[in-house]
Structure 1
């Protein structure tokens, strides 16, 4: 089946889970990645049971804290 991952169309096995896709895509720091499927966030505790379907659009997102540092 075909899905879109980070804007690129890819062929994957039928019944693939978000967890397996993270592994296949070699996602950096998988413990800290957020995943959206068709614009909806997937809870990290459900990656192993969230099955992707034909035509799904998947995005891997990383949220980073920011701030400033100054010497006074």
Structure 2
């Protein structure tokens, strides 16, 4: 079964019961551990919000997504 969400202002379909961590891992094409860290140890430089509320990295594994959720993934940028 699948559900429809919005990811970075674009409609997306994901498996029902997916967590935010699973969505981010699929979006990045990288494996993430239970703490939301890249399995290879590299920095992600990423923040996530669901329905306008920032979700701490420590909660990505337990934050289950629901139909109609709006998810925004923001990548940190360097510069001045």
Query: Which range, TM-score by smaller chain?
Result: 0.7 to 0.9
Matched residue of 2:71: which SS?
strand
Distance in structure 2 (CA, Å) of the matches to 1:17 and 1:38: 14
| TM-score between both structures, scaled by the size of structure 2 | 0.73
What number of residue pairs does the alignment pair up? 67
Distance in structure 1 (CA, Å) of the matches to 2:43 and 2:16: 22
Unpaired runs of 5+ residues, structure 1, are 68-72
Unpaired runs of 5+ residues, structure 2, are 31-41
| TM-score between both structures, scaled by the size of structure 1 | 0.80
Instruction: State the shift of 1:8 in Å.
Output: 0.7
Matched residue of 2:15: which SS?
coil
For the pair shown, which has the larger CA radius of gyration, 1 or 2? 1
Q: 1:27 to 1:39 in 2, by over 3 A?
A: farther
Task: State whether structure 2 residue 73 is matched by structure 1 residue 60.
Answer: yes
Which of residues 22, 25, 33 in structure 2 aligns to 1:23? 25
